[in-house]
Structure 1
């Protein structure tokens, strides 16, 4: 069985809550759900599957705790790892940069050799554009905890099922 690590950056607690829900669905131990602010490259390398989550701030910016860790991660060899992304954003207030920080993570990890899993179709989402779109799909699971929180659980459920098929 593949060892899964979930890393999140969360300012208000929404992304942390989503990380914990995903971890629960995948039976990931609480000790393997980590705040990126406490990043350790040695621990990071211990996982076969990395699930990385960030909220999006302003016009598509990463959550602040990601910057230092990402500088280190993007220079790692992750060729033996699968990476799934999730993000929280506000499609109503920021419809043209919805969950854009997921795209920043995706682009930053492009040179690491990792294999991305868990892309999501745009059907059912209310937004106009996003930096996290590649070939017409989101690079990971976008969630709008501000305006569509009633859909979070079902979206997580469907995404986790898809991840399990891809792992």
Structure 2
């Protein structure tokens, strides 16, 4: 069974909604999901190593900035090697700002720099996930994340035989 961490921060509740929808899209027969809302500086990044894959969510603050708690998380994230871990990134933002959901892209780069296998597709939602397009994007991330994680685990097991 895949050990999956859904780790997110949410100011307005929108990113938490996306996290909940992602969890519902994962096959519970194949994935044991732990969902955690991290707050300012309370996440020990070594905790990430206990999971096969991580779905990471953040909102975008102001005009394209990382929220304070995500910025602190990045400082400690840089101390861990995520080789062999699959990461998918999602978030909420507001299209009223020029830099819509740029925190999602910044986090994809951060996880890539830590050697994680980052899913190309990411979820960027304008405020609340309430359109059919939003739900399809969430499903696509969940499907790609789950399949990539299963493939990586199978590859590891084949190499260990």
- Indicate the TM-score class for this superposition, using the shorter chain for normalisation: 0.7 to 0.9
Whose helix proportion is higher, 1 or 2? Answer: 2
Q: Which has the higher contact order (CA 8 A, sep 6+)?
A: 2
**1:66 aligned onto 2:70:** yes
Given the two structures, how large is their TM-score scaled by the length of structure 1? Answer: 0.76
**1:84 aligned onto 2:88:** yes
User: Post-superposition shift, 1:29?
Assistant: 5.5
Specify the alignment match of 2:20 in structure 1: 20
Specify the alignment match of 1:113 in structure 2: 115
User: Post-superposition shift, 1:7?
Assistant: 0.6
Given the two structures, how large is their TM-score scaled by the length of structure 2? Answer: 0.79
**Segments of 4+ moved more than 3 angstroms:** 27-30
**1:159 aligned onto 2:159:** no
User: Post-superposition shift, 1:160?
Assistant: 1.6
Specify the alignment match of 2:79 in structure 1: 75
Equivalences, count: 143
- 5+ long unaligned stretches in structure 2: 150-161
Root mean square deviation, CA, Å: 1.9
- 5+ long unaligned stretches in structure 1: 121-139
